[in-house]
Amino acid sequence: MENKLKLAKEKLIVALDVDTGEAALDLVKKLSTQVGMFKVGMQLFYQAGPDIVKRLKEAGVRVFLDLKLHDIPNTVAQAARGLTALGADIINVHAAGGTAMMRAAAEAVREQAAALGRPAPRVIAVTVLTSIDPTAFQYELGFTCDIQRKVADWALLTRQAGLDGVVASPREIAVIRRACGEDFLIITPGIRPAWSVAGDQKRIMTPAAALGQGAGYLVVGRPITGQADPAAAAQKIITELAEVL
């Protein structure tokens, strides 16, 4: 069981969606024995500033920098260069930015990492946000195919652009695997244990079910960080994961 708990820990990424560096570091202190990686998103990065990534790296943790870059290729490449210099382990862009933008990001990251003499962070692409349901996808965003088809197409585009993987709902893991193969990284937010509330997430799955589908990593935010005892919530999740490993 101990080995399974270790493996489960490696699968878990906790979203540090808080306003200050101090709050983020406090969560890291409480959770670092149970969590393999921490995610810095827009909420923390825009308020605490880029230095938070360096502080987390100094604290010895792995960092997924989830800023979802989406702009013209040159702008995204220059931004990706900056994020690489901060020392993130994974960065991301939006697949909707297209292949030229994704290729530019991947190339800039490789060049910058080589110039700094460091391993390059993995670069992945966000497909369809897990907060989008089929109605919004069709009637607000105007897509005529279903979400699964679009996610599979964008995942393939991402792979062809030379990126390492995608962010998607666990509900799309099977179609992504069929399109992109077993060695393609799939990071899944939209994780909701049976005892938690969905909130704004629409395409959700429990931790055990997502792992059963073959998720590379599971991103969990509020079901852990929104609890009075985040460490106890994280422990419940890794125990649930260990049971299916």
Ligand X SMILES: O=c1ccn([C@@H]2O[C@H](COP(=O)(O)O)[C@@H](O)[C@H]2O)c(=O)[nH]1
> Catalytic pick from 66, 150, 164, 202?
66
Q: Of 15 and 176, which CB lies nearer to ligand X in the complex structure?
A: 15
Q: Is 7 among the annotated ligand-binding positions?
A: no
Check if 202 is active-site.
no
Q: Cα–Cα distance between 111 and 91 in angstroms, integer?
A: 15
Residue with CB nearest ligand X? Answer: 221
Catalytic residue among 4, 54, 71, 236: 71
Smallest distance from ligand X to CB 33, Å: 20
Question: In the bound complex, what is the minimum distance in angstroms from residue 245's beta carbon to ligand X?
Answer: 21
Q: Is 200 a catalytic residue?
A: no
Q: Is 71 annotated as a binding residue?
A: yes
* Cβ at position 112, least distance to ligand X in Å: 24
Q: Any catalytic annotation for residue 68?
A: yes
Q: Which residues bind ligand X (CB under 6 A)?
A: 15, 17, 41, 126, 129-130, 167, 189-190, 201, 219-223
Nearest distance in Å: CB 140, ligand X: 16
Q: Closest approach of Cβ 201 to ligand X, in Å?
A: 5
Which one, 41 or 216, has the nearer CB to ligand X? Answer: 41
Six token digits for residue 79: 């931004």
92 is in an annotated binding site: no
The set of long-range contacts for 185-188, using a CB threshold of 8 Å and a minimum separation of 24, is: 185/122, 185/124, 185/216, 185/217, 186/214, 186/215, 186/216, 187/13, 187/64, 187/90, 187/124, 187/215, 187/216, 187/217, 187/219, 188/215, 188/216, 188/217, 188/218, 188/219
Q: Is 74 marked within a binding site?
A: yes
Nearer to ligand X, 62 or 222 (CB): 222
**Has 185 been labeled as part of a binding site?**
no
Per annotation, catalytic residue among 54, 68, 153, 236: 68
Is 171 annotated as belonging to a binding site?
Answer: no
Cβ pair 196, 223 in contact under 8 A: yes
Active-site positions?
66, 68, 71
Q: Which residues are annotated as a binding site?
A: 17, 39, 66-75, 130, 192, 201, 221-222
Q: Which residues are annotated as a binding site for substrate?
A: 17, 39, 66-75, 130, 192, 201, 221-222
